[in-house]
Amino acid sequence: MIKVGIAVVASALVVLAGAAVAEEGPPIRTEVATAEAPVGRPTEILAKLTIGEGYRFIEPPPRGNRVIELSSADGGVEFARRVFRGTLEGNAITFRLQVTPTKPGPHPINGVFRVSYVTETSDSWHLRHVSLPLVTTVTGTE
């Protein structure tokens, strides 16, 4: 009987823990511009992440607020670096991604924003590390 009681309590704790983890997602809004430049000429993509009220980005987190895993599905874009760090400005982080179109036409690119933020209440704070998708287009002109 004691073993059954322990199993029920353990199951209830697992259910409660799962409910506490389930969130709607981070309170972050992303704005990512597109870019256009002549083939072979570097250009910049401006990306900005803004956080909601009651939250704040932290700087510098252990590995920095950054964009990683940049890729172009058709290989029509070169990236100046593999990782781009963001600049914290109030309640926003700005990223300036240097890219160069290598072929004419539109080229979709993908990446991942990795950022950290905290929520603060009157008696505690909670640190969160999140990954958000970066999707945009670089167009090469002739």
What pLDDT, in 10s, does the model give residues 44-86?
999 999 999 889 898 765 667 999 999 998 999 999 999 999 9
**Cα gap 45→35, rounded to integer Å:** 6
Beta bridge partners of 141: 38
Report domain 26-141's class: mainly beta
Read off the pTM: 0.77
pLDDT of residue 13: 36
Q: Phi/psi of residue 22, each to 5°?
A: -65, 115
pLDDT of residue 25: 60
**Cα gap 126→55, rounded to integer Å:** 10
**Cα gap 82→75, rounded to integer Å:** 15
What is the three-class DSSP state of 121? Answer: coil
pLDDT of residue 16: 35
Q: Phi/psi of residue 91, each to 5°?
A: -100, 25
Instruction: Calculate mean pLDDT across residues 109-130.
Output: 86
Q: How high is the mean pLDDT of the chain?
A: 83
Q: Find, among 50, 46, 49, the residue nearest to 33 by Cα.
A: 46
Q: Find, among 30, 27, 58, the residue nearest to 135 by Cα.
A: 30
In tens, the pLDDT along 5-25 reads: 444 333 333 333 333 344 456
